[in-house]
Amino acid sequence: MNGRRGDLLAQVSDFEVRLLRLFRTVVDCGGFSAAEGALGIGRSAISQQMGDLEQRLGLRLCQRGRAGFALTEEGREVYQSALRLLGALESFRTEVNGLHRHLRGELNIGLTDNLVTVPHMRITHALARLKAQGPDVRIQIRMTPPGEVEQGVLDGRLHVGVVPQAAALAGLDYQPLYDERSLLYCAVGHPLFYVDDATLEDHRLDAQDAIAPTFRLPPEAQARYQALNCTASASDREGMAFLILTGRYIGYLPDHYAQQWVGQGRLRALKPASRHYALSLASVTRRGRRPHLVLESFLAALADTA
């Protein structure tokens, strides 16, 4: 397909926009079969429409077959362009709807993993209020690492995000939501699980295999990890929990998230009086953003939950 001449897409019609929405859903779901439920059509229909899109663009967008679904290099670039186009269309519709003061449109929100167990539930309450105010609002939540949340807000793919607050990035505004406390945990089967804290020496603790996060953290939290023997890493807190639960690593987890396993007797905190740190969680929006009634309504609801 790449050998065809330019000007293959002289204009973008409603039909191409519909095909690009289908393409976005297929990529987000990870393949044709997984997208069937989200799109409400069968795999053969999805394949045919994907073929129509590739024909119109003159590009091969993905590999599909027994080896599984994978984007081509051109497919990755078209996906990013499609996100920007669809985001711009949604922003236009939201702004026009805002002229009529009708709460309609989308709220694309990116969240750091495992915030659902935070007792305050400010995000949940704000989303409930938003839905009550605008029954037609479509809420789309993406669970991604903090760095991807911030990048998504910067490039417009996300309207708002919630991340652990480290050094602020240029172009973003941060509003503190709440603090969470992280403790150092090990799992049943680990050599330290039954060791009394009173007899557990720091040098022995610091010699254990530990997990470090790859996302940004404030200096206090970074210092906690620098004291450990970090031989593994994870991009999010769920990945850290997976490794801790093997019984072969120690690592920090938010206490609200770890509580489910502590209650089951599968995790224990190691020297919690001294091995802990606090992390501020903040909402993040793009500085200088255009008016967006759905987003502003959500942010107002979020502020009211304080």
Residue-wise pLDDT for 11-26, tens only, equals 778 888 999 999 999 9
3-state class percentages of the chain: helix first, strand second, coil last, to nearest 5: 45, 20, 35
Residue 267: the pLDDT is: 98
pLDDT-wise least confident of 2-6, 26-30, 128-132: 2-6
| Nearest-angstrom CA–CA distance, 233 and 16 | 41
Residue 98: the pLDDT is: 62
Residue 78: the pLDDT is: 93
Strands 209-213 and 229-234: parallel
Q: CA angle, corner 67, sides to 63 and 69, nearest 5?
A: 40
User: Would the pTM count as exceeding 0.75?
Assistant: no
The DSSP string of 23-61 is: HHHHHHHTSHHHHHHHHTS-HHHHHHHHHHHHHHHTS--
Cα Rg, the chain, nearest whole Å: 23
Look up residue 80 and give its two tokens: 């990013």
Give all domains of the chain, ordered by start, each with its CATH number.
Answer: 14-84 (1.10.10.10), 178-280 (3.40.190.290)
Residue pLDDT, tens place only, 157-198: 999 999 888 878 889 999 998 888 999 999 999 999 999 999
Residue 66: the pLDDT is: 72
